[in-house]
Amino acid sequence: MGNPKNRNHHKESDDMKKKSVKILISGLLVILWMGIVFCFSNMDTYESNSKSKGTINKVIIATVATTNKIGITDKHPTEERINQVVEWLNPPLRKCMHASIYFGLMLLLLNVFRIGNKKLTKSIIISLIICFIYACLDEYHQTFILGRTGQFRDVMIDMTGAMIATIFYLSCYKLLNFKKKILKQEKLCLF
């Protein structure tokens, strides 16, 4: 039998190593996500628009085919009609994409800081500041790309995504804490 102090020391050391690995992996995910944002922003207007329009076109065609197949609809839109819908949907969906990318970035940042045992409020504030700075840098970066512009409106859309992520995170946090309290109370009631 070993010394209990040594066992505790080894357990603490193992816990610290696991925590360090989690922080490292989470930090790498943040950097990877930021790299993806950079790649999207590095596309010129034609490439960026054609990718988003192409994706919307595929989704529309797949949706029509699926709803026709299962009998919900019996539509057979012309290519011209599909292109009209793509043109109509492209601007708002591109803005939603802005918000969703920063939704993801915010969650990844919160994860890093929470693993590092930062207080919730501090984690949120630091993560929001990082998102804001990165959104501003991203818009500035776009001013150097052919046909792209940097717009503060897009920074605000990005920050809307980050704020929605914050609300989502807080809701999950409160729900989990509420569930823990109930389970704890149930255990106390059993004894």
Per-residue DSSP letters for 120-188?
HHHHHHHHHHHHHHHHHHHHHHHTTSTT----HHHHHHHHHHHHHHHHHHHHHHHHHHHHHHHHHHHHH
Quote the CA–CA distance of 3 and 57 in Å, as a whole number.
67
The DSSP output letter for 75 is -
Q: Computed over its alpha carbons, how large is the radius of gyration of the chain?
A: 23
pLDDT of res. 8? 64
Confidence of residue 183 (pLDDT cuts 50, 70, 90): confident
Residue 135 CA from chain centroid, whole number = 13
Structure tokens at 113: 């800081």
pLDDT of res. 30? 98
Quote the CA–CA distance of 133 and 96 in Å, as a whole number.
19
- Check pLDDT > 70 for residue 6: no
pLDDT of res. 12? 74
C-beta of residue 156 within 8 angstroms of C-beta of residue 132 = no
Top-confidence residue, 76 or 15: 76
Quote the CA–CA distance of 57 and 53 in Å, as a whole number.
6
Q: What is the dihedral of CA 133, 138, 142, 143, to 10 degrees?
A: 10
pLDDT of res. 15? 80
Mean pLDDT of the chain: 90
Quote the CA–CA distance of 12 and 9 in Å, as a whole number.
5
Q: At what angle do helices 4-41 and 79-115 cross, to 10 degrees?
A: 150
- Please give the angle made by the CA atoms of 28, 29 and 34, to the nearest 5 degrees: 95
